[in-house]
Amino acid sequence: SQQGEEDPQALSIQEGENATMNCSYKTSINNLQWYRQNSGRGLVHLILIRSNEREKHSGRLRVTLDTSKKSSSLLITASRAADTASYFCATNPVSSNTGKLIFGQGTTLQVKP
Amino acid sequence: DVKVTQSSRYLVKRTGEKVFLECVQDMDHENMFWYRQDPGLGLRLIYFSYDVKMKEKGDIPEGYSVSREKKERFSLILESASTNQTSMYLCASSPMANSYEQYFGPGTRLTVT
């Protein structure tokens, strides 16, 4: 079952613009994580936000979490061509005690130079 | 740095063959995971293991089995490969607790003809 649903499925912007991706989920979570995947490669962890946190920053990344709406957003500021990749949200359900994650379908971001 | 390696980047097998995909991690992580990734479906969990010789089914275990005889190694086995198992297979590992990210290998793109 897919817990996370990303929106939009695809996004195309110009270099220097900001990119915002959204994720919705269904059940209570311990934390929500964002990952990045370059074409044909493995996933790389970007940021983790716990259920008692509302906002987190890491470099040009800003993640928000609204547990009442069961949603999260990832903002990439001042995008670069190298940010072109697929981005996935993943939730760690409260029902899990083993670090299991449930991934969404991803947002494909294209940043045009 | 955590390193997760997978035995092959690309693999071509015939229908009915027994296929072994190997994954090795070097960070003494308790958890290891096997996912498959298909366009439009995101990552789906096949099996995971939270300790040596311990395993649990994920969302799509049918047609697959796993083996974890040593902590660092987690194998995915396709007992009799079928064309609908053509996919990208991703291995990941993480510490036991819930608040940790998963570390991914580079993936194996398996084609079954």
Tokens representing B60 are 């799509």
How many CB atoms are located within 10 Å of the residue B80 CB? 11
Backbone angles phi, psi at B85, to 5 degrees: -100, 5
Structure tokens at B15: 């229908």
Q: B106 to chain A nearest CA, in Å?
A: 4
Rounded mean pLDDT for each run of 10 residues along chain B, 113 residues in total: 89 97 95 93 92 92 96 97 97 82 95 98
Name the DSSP letter for residue B62: T
Selected for mutation to probe chain A from B43, B46, B111 (highest A CB count within 10 Å) is B43
Those residues of chain A that have pLDDT short of 70 are 1-4, 97
Cβ of A1 and B103 within 8 Å?
Answer: no
Residue A105 touches chain B, beta carbons under 8 Å = yes
Q: What is the pLDDT of residue A24?
A: 95
* Residue B7 to residue A98: CA distance in whole angstroms: 25
- Give the Å distances, CA to CA, from B55 to A15, A84, A98, B27, B94: 45, 36, 11, 19, 15
- Tens-place pLDDT, residues A9-31: 999 999 999 999 999 999 999 99
* Residue B34, pLDDT score: 97
Nearest-angstrom CA–CA distance, A102 and A28? 12
Contact A74, A49 (CB under 8 A): no
Sign of CA dihedral A47, A49, A53, A55: positive
Per-residue pLDDT, A57: 97
C-beta of residue B101 within 8 angstroms of C-beta of residue B4? no
Distance from CA of A18 to the nearest CA of B (A): 24
Asked if B110 and B19 count as a contact pair (C-beta separation under 8 A), the reply is: yes
pLDDT at residue A6, as a whole number:
85
Contacts B45 to A, Cβ<8 Å: 100-102
Chain pair A-B, CB pairs under 8 angstroms: 69
The verdict on A1 touching B (C-beta cutoff 8 Å) is: yes
Amino acid in the structure at residue B101: E
pLDDT at position B42 = 87
CA angle A62, A58, A70 (to 5 degrees): 40
The pair of structure tokens assigned to B95 is 């510490």
CA distance linking residue A100 with residue B99, whole number of Å: 10
Helix (H) or strand (E) holding A46, with range, is strand A43-50
| Closest of A30, A70, A34, A25 to residue A52, by C-alpha | A30
